[in-house]
Each structure stands twice: as structure tokens, then as C-alpha cells.
Chain A
Amino acid sequence: MELAKPWRRLIVIGIIAVGIVFLLAACNGDSSVSDSSGDTGLVGTIEIDGSSTVAPISEAVAEEFLAEYPDVRVNVGVSGTGGGFKRFTVGETEISDASRPIKDSEAEIAAENGIEYLELTVALDGLAVMVNTANDFVDCLTIAELNEIWKPNSTVDSWDDVRAGFPSDDLNLYGPDTESGTFDYFTDVVNGDEGVSRSDYVASSDDNVLVRGISGDRNSLGYFGYAYYTENASQLKLVEIDGGNGCIAPSDATVADGSYAPLARPIFIYVDVAKLRAREELKAFVDFYLDNSPTLVPEVGYTALSSYAEEKNRVEDAYTGT
């Protein structure tokens, strides 16, 4: 019987612990209800998933939205553009963040499940091509030269293979991994086919790894989102891109007016139209999204559209069913 005592005590401790957890939880549930003023009347849960490129915008919008509509829950995930569409096309999410337009195969699944969607452009994102700051011979590259470097089975492995007159130093490549929407976009534009690329380069989904790689290797060349470049501009040397109309460096201005072609792209959110019509809080959120993008998009490092009027009109059209 002596030995049974600790057991009884353990069980009691366990029950108390569980009780405390549930009590805490209950308190929290209560407080979250009483916290909210609730004067807006809108309630509901909006689930957003998709591209990690777009997520910072959606998060910023959600944060501001929740300050005004405290009874609405907005959850943001980062499953990647493809992963987000997988959930969106079966009706699991209300909004899908996408750094590329929906693919035919994904649109087919949406049609099979009766999901009607609205594509809204929310920002512009430029791709930056960069070399080490010690590199004094590369100022501008053409898309054809980038293609020679990055095409599958490319034999370019030193700088003089890129252009006659460059030194014969090794060329070391850095870029996003295959899960990234940035990789899809770059390969589509530069190699002519999405997802097609040489594979013998340092690939990472973490742009900080790429920044460190390029800034620490004097023979480096790499690419990733322009927003990430601006955060680390002092450690990297930006390369101008000649897309057929002369050398142009990416900047907020050249990305916005389209002159930094072809390495600037629009990024999107996809909205479930049936839910948009049926749920007031979702309509309020999408309106809020477009109304606040001009200030929030630059704040998280992207280029805002010059006008969101057209996107707003399309939301109204979809909402009223015209």
C-alpha cells in the first residue's frame, strides 16, 4: 500500500493539471470574446494559404483588418503557391496567395469541384540578379546570357564562358530551390519553360542563405526577389538586365512602369467567388485588401500598382454577379 501512494498522487496531479489547462483555455476563450468591441457585427474565419512571397502582404493586411474587425479571424499559411492552390481548389481556403497565375491543371481541379475564382493583382515583384561586391567586370547581362548560364546541362562554368573578355575565374551559382514561385518565374522567363534549369547550383528556399552565399563568394552569381535585395543592398552588387531594350536596373520605378522587363512580375490573390458573395466578412476583407495595398505593399518590400481601381471594379462585378 505504501507504494501505491505516489500513484494516487500522480493521478491527482494529472487531473489538476488538466483542469488548470482547461480553465486557462476557458478564461482565454471568454476574454477574447469580451476583448472585442463587436460593434462592426462581422464575424467569421478567413483562411488564406499559398505563396510565401505574397504572405507578408496578406499578413500586413490581416493585421490592419483585425484592428478594425476584431471578431473576424484571419489565418495565413505559407504552403507555397502550388500547395495553396491544392487547398484552394477543393474549397478549403477562402483566399489563395499566388506568385504566378493558376495553372491549367489547377484550374481543372477547381472546375471539377465547382470552385469559381477571381484573380486579383495585388503587387509587383521584381527579380534581382546579383554578383559579389568585389566583382568589377559585370554590370549588365542580357537574357540570352542568363539563359546560357542557367539552361539545363549548361556547360558554362567560368566567367569567360559567359562573355569573351570576362576573366577565366570560376562561376558559382546561387538561386531559389524548386519549390519556390521565384524559381518557377525565373526559369519560365529565362529558360523558356517553367521549372527547367541546370541543377548544379547552390539552391535554398531561404533567401538569407543566398544573400550570405553571394556576398561571401567573389565568383558568385545569383538571383532572388528584388524585395530581398533592397534589404541587403550593401552586401550585394545588382546587375542590370538587358531584355532587348538596353540595360535597365530594377528599382521601384522600373518595376512599376514595366521597363524592367521581363524580370518583373505581378503577384496575385485568388478569391473564392461563391464565398465572396455569401460572406460579408470576406467581401469586407477583400475590399480592405485593395484599399490598403497602396500603403501596405511598399511597407513589406514590394511595388504597389499605380492604381487598384480596376481590381476593385472586378471585385464589385464578381460580387454582384455581372
Chain B
Amino acid sequence: MEPTTSDDVRSVSAEQFHSSLRGRRLIGNAAVVLFFLSTLVGLATLAALIIDILIDGLPWIDWDFLSTYPSRRPADAGLRSALFGTLWVGGLTALFTFPIGTATAIYLEEYAPRNKLTQLIEVNISNLAGVPSIVYGLLGLAVFVFLLGMGRVIIAGALTLTLLVLPLLIVAGREAIRAVPDSYRQGSLALGATRWQTVRHVILPSALPGILTGTILAMSRAIGEAAPLLAISGLVFVTFTPGHPFERFTVLPIQIFNWVSRPQLDWQHVTAAAIIILLLVLLSMNSIAILLRDRFQRRSEE
């Protein structure tokens, strides 16, 4: 390289610096605009859908809509049986999924030896999260309904959904446990705590917010599923409120699926109203989990 005077260096670099700064700012701004537009794609679609549903459905929602059974007349149709079915199935699924999923995540992260078998299990769980939900429906139909002889009842639906959403919770739970700093573990063990005490008093409290986030995602998926439960239950017209887990049932997504396929215009409004109720059930279930999460987040930060 030719030696240059210090003056040259200064002038050249200053010029380059100036022009490239402008370019960099431009690129930076362009990126912000691009990211914002990307966000808008999702948000605008969601907003359009929700506004459309609200306009169509809100006038149809009243107490009767929640407390009466389905009817052939759109004006009389209600979703009491579907609403209770969804609460039953959703509640039981949460009850089954949370402990099993958390336990699996703890085992895989904290106890499982690093060998081929563990690797196989891990790969399988990740793959299971991507299996189409109808496959779980058919599995549930074969195993719970027929093989175990439960019949087409709530508990069979809840167990099927548990299988469906377990991989989601396990993956999220493992991420949360992995995010707990290793120094916590080492500190606890150094103080003489056993492995179980470390898991119970150190790992779990700090991982719990992440695990609860995973539960939110898993339950949202479970509540919105129609295909597997259509295979298990298949009912669209139920006129009783299920009282125990061994009764026949229908759920909101199945009821919506049935109503949306009817030709009369009024059914589209009833469908929109049912979708609003489904969203509300989802939001309220999630807000419970979010409340719990915030509680634990504060505590573990104290």
C-alpha cells in the first residue's frame, strides 16, 4: 500500500464517514419501516377479522344465547351445552397437561442422562408438536374411546387434547428451565441441598413464569381445536349440560363448525356471536394464567 499523508487520511475518511453515516441511517430507517409494516400485516388482519366478527355477532349476544340449548331457529339458538363442554374439556386438559408436561420438562432438563435414548425422546417430542391434530383425534378414538372402552365422553376428549398439547408445554417448559442460570443450581448444591430440593425450591420457582406461558399457549391451542374432538364426539346437537366427565359432549369449535356451514344468513350472525364467546373463554382462561405468572415473576425477583 502507498504511504499517505495524515492529512489525506483525515480528509478521505471524514468524507467516507459522512456519506456512509447517511446511508446507514437510511438503511436503519428503512428497516424500522419494514419491521413496522411486517407487524401491521398480522395486526391489521387480526383487527379486520375481530371487527368483522364483532359487527356481525355482538347484537346476538345476550344471556339467552349463553343459557339456552341449540335450536333449528337462529334466533333461539344458544350454546349452553357447547360452552359447558368447552369448560369441562378445557379444565380437565389443563389439569392433566400441567403436571405431566412440567414433570417431563424437569426430567429431561435436570435428570435425564445425555445419551441416545434421551436424544431420541427429545427429537420425538419436537416432531410430535407438528403432527396434524386430526391424527391425535383418531389416536384418541382408537385408544381411549374403543380400546379403553371409555366411550365418546368428555374425559376421552380431554385426554386426547392432553396428548395434543403436551409437546407444546414440554418444549416451552424446557426452554424456561434451561433459562435458569447455572449459578443458581451450583449455589444450591454447594449449600448442601439435594437435587430434588434444588429443583423444588430453586429451579421451579424461577422457571414457573415461563412454564405458565407455555401453558397459556397449550391451552389456547386446546380450546380452539375442532378436528380431534369431532372424531371423538362428532355431536353438534346436544341439549343437556354435562354433569360429570363420563357424559357425551360438544364444544364451542364444533358448534361453530356446524353453524357456519348453514346457508341461511342469520346463522352467520349466530356463528360470529359464538366466535366472540370462544374468544372470551380463551381470554379469561389465559388471564388466569397471566395473573399467576405475574405473581410468581414478582416473587422470584424478590
Contact B261 A207 (CB under 8 A): yes
Find B237's partner among A28, A32, A75 (CB 8 Å cutoff): A75
Once bound together, how far apart are the Cα atoms of A32 and B84, in whole Å?
A: 13
Task: Provide the residues of chain A in CB contact with B261, threshold 8 Å.
Answer: 52, 205-208
Among B91, B234, B261, the one with the most A-chain Cβ atoms within 10 Å of its Cβ is: B234
Contact A55 B263 (CB under 8 A): no
A298 within 8 Å of B (CB atoms): no
Once A10-B292, A63-B72 are accepted as A-B contacts, the answer to whether A231 and B84 lie under 8 Å apart by CB is no
| In the complex, per-residue mask of A120-133: 1 if CB is within 8 Å of any chain B CB, else 0 | 00000000000000
Task: Provide the residues of chain B in CB contact with A13, threshold 8 Å.
Answer: 292
Size of the B side of the interface (Cβ < 8 Å), in residues, is: 39
Once A6-B205, A25-B244, A26-B243 are accepted as A-B contacts, the answer to whether A59 and B237 lie under 8 Å apart by CB is yes
Stretch of A76-84, A157-165, A254-262 contacting B (4+ beta carbons < 8 Å) = A76-84
The chain B residue sitting closest to A76, CB to CB, is B237
Contact A25 B263 (CB under 8 A): no
Contact B239 A55 (CB under 8 A): no
Q: How many A-B residue pairs have CB under 8 A?
A: 99
Once bound together, how far apart are the Cα atoms of A63 and B208, in whole Å?
A: 47
Contact A232 B263 (CB under 8 A): yes
Find A227's partner among B208, B238, B241, B263 (CB 8 Å cutoff): B263
Once A3-B205, A78-B234 are accepted as A-B contacts, the answer to whether A231 and B264 lie under 8 Å apart by CB is yes
Contact A6 B296 (CB under 8 A): yes
**Residues A28-59 near B (CB distance < 8 A):** 28-29, 32, 45, 47, 49, 52, 55-56, 58-59
Contact B292 A63 (CB under 8 A): no
B174 within 8 Å of A (CB atoms): no
Find A76's partner among B205, B236, B292 (CB 8 Å cutoff): B236
| Residues of chain A at the chain B interface (Cβ within 8 Å) | 3-7, 10, 13-14, 17-18, 21, 25-26, 28-29, 32, 45, 47, 49, 52, 55-56, 58-60, 62-63, 66, 73-79, 83, 205-208, 211, 227-228, 231-232, 296, 299-301
The 4 A-B residue pairs whose C-beta atoms are closest, nearest first, are A29-B243, A76-B237, A231-B263, A77-B234
